[in-house]
Structure 1
Amino acid sequence: MDSPPLPQLIVIGAAKAATTWIAHQLRTRPDVCMPGPEPHYFSREFDRGEAWYRSLFADARPGQLVAEKSADYLAHPKAPARIAALVPTVQLIAQLRNPVERAYSDYCMLFRRGQVDGDVDRYLDGRRTTERRFLEDGLYGRHIRRFLDHFPQAQLKVILHDEIKRDPAAVAADVLHMLGLPPRVDGEAIERRVNDGASALVPLALRRLPAPVKRLADPLRGKPLFERARRLIARPVRYPPLSDDTRKRLADFYSEDIDQLARTLGRDLGAWTKPALAVQ
């Protein structure tokens, strides 16, 4: 019996740069096999072994493009070499967002989950933070260079978050063309936001209920009475604002790396060095 296939495409990150959006464009197509959730094989799950990784794609049908997305690959120091050793011809997609915005959005995601407190500067001020992911995941120049040490630049497609915001249909069409897939006609799917940080949530205490308790409610989800009750108690999340001082420190922290990235990609990233309001 043949082993399951390995991916022909990997979306490598960055986290909070619309990687879930591009995965949605691919995962909902019948000519793509892209299982979820993120396997994280080439980062934190590497000890599970190749057989486990292949098993994730066991449902791939002949003719389907096999793909996966794990947004932590971009910043993981060992991921490029591991990927190159197993699938040296794989196509890679990196999505990059203004690193100051990305850091703040990453913080907001964990705040929304109740994993960090409201002292935003404690997490994003480089002088104080012990959570290195918020700052170091946005050092794209360093991370992209590491991938280019193992892959030719032609195998790495870089998409800017600003391009997706400006014209998502054009970005989706470009990716599908690169992959040799027919264009998508579902405009609603292209425009749909995923992982929307503005949506309302039930109180944190309810979200922290043990999994067995949550599973009791699963049969009720989607039913009118359940959804009506959920809307009554759900509230928008109020995110702590990022101070001007910490925003400036972040901009200074990333300045040299942005210059390096611009040279590597041959692209103008000047918009990232201008003051801007970060969003979730």
Structure 2
Amino acid sequence: MSKYPDFIIIGAMKCATSTLHKQLALQPGLCMSEPKEPYFFSNDEVYAKGIEWYLSLFKGAGENDLCGESSTHYTKLPTYPETIKRLNQHCPNAKFIYVMRHPIDRLISQYIHEWTMRVISVDINSAVDQHQELIDYSRYTMQLEPYFETFGSDRVLPLFFERMLSSPQEELERVCKFIGYSGQPQWDFELDAKNVSTQRLRNSVWRDFLTETPGLRELRRWLVPKEVRDKVKDFWTMKEKPKLAPEKIEQLEAIFDRDLAELGSWLGIELNCKNFKGMVKETERNWVAVPQKSLSKSA
């Protein structure tokens, strides 16, 4: 009998969802998908593979195992507009976990990722103006409202990147309680929970061919001194964390403070860019009042 996911980590991008996925995969009785991000319900080309392909990701699950996957594309409106409809069609009883992070920190981390992948080539200040998705993916209320409208807020667990770093065991226990896991989860502190995207190399087909091809790799190490190889490596590396101009930070804070004010009302706190990290780290946060809005307003 095919098993559907009991829970899905839906984002947000660059908020340690990979770390949470790996930690859950270590717990006995939990079956996490491989790959971690199948993107089935968001990406048309993956959805075209059919539901049986998707269910095959959980074929290793035991009869009583809970199944889960993690796809940050599921909270990337308006890029992937069919996600909610497809989830409701195939997984109407699933629970959802949404990890948030200071919206500007998340934006910067996404920029680094997109620069590495050669999706973005301009500086970060220009990128904010040219790539609306950098802002949209940090607008957490906009991403969450369709889930509340379709599934109800009680089916969505709010998590925060900052609290996962400071209280990982407690947050893992909260996740497991939410998904109905009856075991005793243990956080593995040997797994790296921190984002190291500033150390990533920019994509290069030629570099990867020269450095990863057997034979060429050994020849390169034999003929080219390490100090020369390191200098060449620097060519593809982002050496400094990108910095937003003061006026750009002010612009972003105005946008995100409006979004965070609504998010804070759902959590029963006052929330803005200035107090975000302190407020979300001090204690666990749960929804206290989420008004039902029409899907047309939230999309």
Please give the range of the TM-score, normalised by the shorter of the 2 chains.
0.7 to 0.9
Map of 1:112 onto structure 2:
116
Residue identity (%) = 20
Task: Give the whole-Å Cα distance in 2 for the aligned partners of 1:48 and 1:74.
Answer: 21
**Normalising to structure 1: TM-score of the pair?**
0.80
RMSD: 3.2
SS where residue 117 of structure 1 aligns? coil
Deviation at 1:275, TM superposition (A): 9.4
Code of the residue aligned with 1:253 in structure 2: it is I
- In structure 2, do the counterparts of structure 1 residues 275 and 22 end up closer, same or farther at CA, with 3 Å as the change threshold? closer
Map of 2:271 onto structure 1:
269
Task: Give the whole-Å Cα distance in 2 for the aligned partners of 1:197 and 1:37.
Answer: 18
- Assess if the C-alpha contact under 8 Å between 1:8 and 1:90 holds in 2: yes
Deviation at 1:240, TM superposition (A): 2.7
Q: Which runs of 5+ in 2 are unaligned?
A: 278-299
Q: Residue 197 in 1 paired to residue 201 in 2?
A: no
Map of 1:79 onto structure 2:
83
- Assess if the C-alpha contact under 8 Å between 2:169 and 2:187 holds in 1: no
- Assess if the C-alpha contact under 8 Å between 1:20 and 1:195 holds in 2: no
Matches within 5 A, 1:179-218: 179=179, 180-189=181-190, 192-193=192-193, 195-199=195-199, 201=201, 204=202, 207-209=204-206, 216-217=213-214
- Assess if the C-alpha contact under 8 Å between 1:96 and 1:140 holds in 2: yes
**Normalising to structure 2: TM-score of the pair?**
0.76
SS where residue 9 of structure 2 aligns? strand
Map of 1:41 onto structure 2:
40
Map of 1:149 onto structure 2:
149
Map of 1:59 onto structure 2:
60
Task: Give the whole-Å Cα distance in 2 for the aligned partners of 1:80 and 1:214.
Answer: 41
Question: Number of residue pairs matched?
Answer: 261
Task: Give the whole-Å Cα distance in 1 for the aligned partners of 2:171 and 2:227.
Answer: 35
Task: Give the whole-Å Cα distance in 2 for the aligned partners of 1:86 and 1:147.
Answer: 14
Q: Residue 140 in 1 paired to residue 140 in 2?
A: yes
Task: Give the whole-Å Cα distance in 2 for the aligned partners of 1:51 and 1:229.
Answer: 49
- Assess if the C-alpha contact under 8 Å between 2:13 and 2:72 holds in 1: yes
Task: Give the whole-Å Cα distance in 2 for the aligned partners of 1:257 and 1:186.
Answer: 32
- In structure 2, do the counterparts of structure 1 residues 171 and 41 end up closer, same or farther at CA, with 3 Å as the change threshold? same
Q: Which runs of 5+ in 1 are unaligned?
A: none
Deviation at 1:30, TM superposition (A): 3.6
Map of 1:17 onto structure 2:
15
Deviation at 1:98, TM superposition (A): 1.6
Code of the residue aligned with 1:16 in structure 2: it is K
Task: Give the whole-Å Cα distance in 1 for the aligned partners of 2:253 and 2:99.
Answer: 19
- Assess if the C-alpha contact under 8 Å between 1:94 and 1:159 holds in 2: yes
Within the candidate set 79, 102, 107, 1:103 is matched to 107
